[in-house]
Amino acid sequence: MISRRQLWALLALTLMWGVNWPMMKLSLQELTPLYFRASTMLLGAAWLFAYVALRGERMWPRGREWLVIALLGLPNVLGWHTLSIYGVQELASGRAAILGFTMPIFTVLIGALFFGERITPRVRLAVLSASIAIGLLLWHELQRLSGRPVGIAWMLSAAFCWALGTLLFRRARLTLAPMVVLVWMLLLGSAVLWVLALSLEPLPQPSGFSLPMWISLAYGVFINYGLAQLIWFAMARNLPPATSAMSIMAIPLVGTLSATAIVGEVPHWQDWLAIVFVMLAIASVLWPQRSVAAPADRP
């Protein structure tokens, strides 16, 4: 049974990660994608490092631990965070959130193809529902003269990387605390992103940033890469699967609703219908199956 404290923490987490999508869109109005990701990721990881170190965890990897962290960081950090920010740049932020959270469907598909996990009728329903949602959003993008269907490709690729990274993280033999591994993935990933940003994008001019821009950057550093991560890792081990599924399903909805207030995006009917199908898909793969008692156990 989830406690009241866990319920409030989960509600806060859902709101934080949902609102983060339009906040990213707001940042991209004045800052290029790679510089945005590199700066917020580095600063967020830096204060996470200090927080976790003060809790007494062993912080410095040894030997092969560096290789494990680097390999896990490729899909989890460079893949997801880089591709998704390009997706947000191309699409409405609510639409990007909907596509990003097709991740659980990719997780079960990759698990079935490469890790021998069984494809159940629920998985087939999830794939069908997610396909309908993607089709709705792609149809709307292609209908518009200014549509950006390439943004859908960015977000689906990002969701694939996130799913692959999640499966690899679950199967990795970690000798460091998972939170420490996350911090180092973010630090190493931000270093690569800084190199890419300096090579590919013009230098930003922070002196010209508006107040909303500074607020969105602070949100990325302290909320998205900081407080939200701490809440999630504190709850992940004890959270019932059905509860975490509800949280994941609600994040695209929060992102779509908050985008209207933050960046003035008006959702279309395709967006609302896509949310319904993505929620159905996520519920199909994450909602725990009802256990059936054996005949001998029945009264």
Residues 95 and 137: their CA atoms lie apart, in Å, by 8
Q: Would you say residue 106 has pLDDT above 60?
A: yes
Q: Would you say residue 291 has pLDDT above 70?
A: no
Tens-digit pLDDT profile for residues 89-98:
999 999 899 8
Q: pLDDT at position 298, please? A: 37
pTM: 0.87
For 63, which DSSP code? Answer: T
Residues 37 and 24: their CA atoms lie apart, in Å, by 9
Q: pLDDT at position 139, please? A: 78
Residues 94 and 78: their CA atoms lie apart, in Å, by 22
Of 146 and 67, more confident: 67
Ordered by start, the domain boundaries in the chain are 4-202+213-286
Nearest to 146 by CA among 90, 101, 209: 90
Q: Would you say residue 158 has pLDDT above 80?
A: yes
Computed over every residue of the chain, the mean pLDDT equals: 86
pLDDT band at 286 (very low <50, low <70, confident <90, very high): low
Let me know how long the chain is: 299
The token duo for 299 is 């009264």
Cα atoms found within 13 Å of the Cα of residue 86, Cβ hemisphere only: 18
Residues 79 and 245: their CA atoms lie apart, in Å, by 23
Residues 140 and 71: their CA atoms lie apart, in Å, by 37
Across 187-195, average pLDDT: 97
Which helix (H) or strand (E) segment holds residue 82: the answer is helix 80-90
Check if the beta carbon of residue 57 is closer than 8 Å to that of residue 230.
no
Q: Would you say residue 293 has pLDDT above 50?
A: no
Tens-digit pLDDT profile for residues 238-273:
666 556 666 677 888 899 999 999 999 888 888 899
Across 191-209, average pLDDT: 95
Torsion sign over Cα 158, 173, 246, 28: negative
Of 295 and 270, more confident: 270
| Percentage with pLDDT > 70 across the chain | 88
- Measure the CA angle with vertex 48, ends 47 and 54; round to 5°: 90
Residues 99 and 148: their CA atoms lie apart, in Å, by 14
User: How many of the other CB atoms lie within 10 Å of CB of 108?
Assistant: 23
Across 117-136, average pLDDT: 83
Tens-digit pLDDT profile for residues 39-48:
999 999 999 9
Check if the beta carbon of residue 247 is closer than 8 Å to that of residue 14.
yes
Of 157 and 107, more confident: 157
